[in-house]
């Protein structure tokens, strides 16, 4: 897959994330799984690293526009940071097939909730 195609997909996903707040992880995991034959661990790790940078940029822009409730964000982070630490450690311990199943179930649950 060419860098040009990935850059274009990144632009579209970045636009959608900035506009709708739909998690880039949700979108990029589907794209990376469909287009590349790489392990789910690599997809998850790549997506988390990408999302951290993307989310920081989008968050700072929304903060500048006055669209952020800092107390709400802080309360969410209190639970999210330990969750990320535990999840990252589990990713390397869970078998590939199990990790794919967890990701698939999470994506299906989000999709059903949106319907």
Report pLDDT digits (tens) over 6-17. Answer: 888 888 877 877
CB 102 within 8 A of CB 52: no
**Angle at which helices 96-114 and 40-64 cross, to 10°:** 40
Tokens standing for residue 113: 């909730």
Is residue 54 packed enough to be buried (19+ CB in 10 Å), middle (13-18) or exposed (0-12)?
buried
Q: What is the DSSP string of 34-51?
A: HH----HHHHHHHHHHHH
Its domain, for residue 104, covers: 3-114
Q: Considering the chain, what is the average pLDDT of its residues?
A: 85
Q: How many domains does the chain have?
A: 1
Tokens standing for residue 92: 């390397």
Report pLDDT digits (tens) over 92-113. Answer: 999 999 999 998 998 888 888 8
CB 22 within 8 A of CB 81: no
Give the pLDDT band (50/70/90) at residue 22. Answer: low
Give the pLDDT band (50/70/90) at residue 24. Answer: low
Would you say residue 70 has pLDDT above 80? Answer: yes
CB 24 within 8 A of CB 47: yes
* pTM of this structure: 0.73
């Amino acid at each position: 897959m060419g860098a040009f195609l990935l850059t274009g997909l990144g632009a579209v996903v970045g636009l959608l994330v900035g506009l709708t707040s739909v998690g880039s992880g949700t979108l990029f995991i589907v794209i990376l799984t469909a287009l590349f034959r790489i392990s789910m661990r690599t997809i998850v790790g790549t997506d988390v690293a990408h999302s951290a940078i993307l989310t920081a940029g989008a968050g700072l822009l929304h903060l500048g526009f006055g669209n952020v409730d800092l107390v709400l964000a802080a309360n969410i982070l209190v639970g999210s940071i330990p969750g990320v630490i535990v999840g990252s450690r589990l990713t390397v311990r869970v078998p590939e097939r199990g990790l794919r199943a967890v990701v698939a179930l999470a994506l299906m649950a989000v999709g059903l909730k949106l319907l």
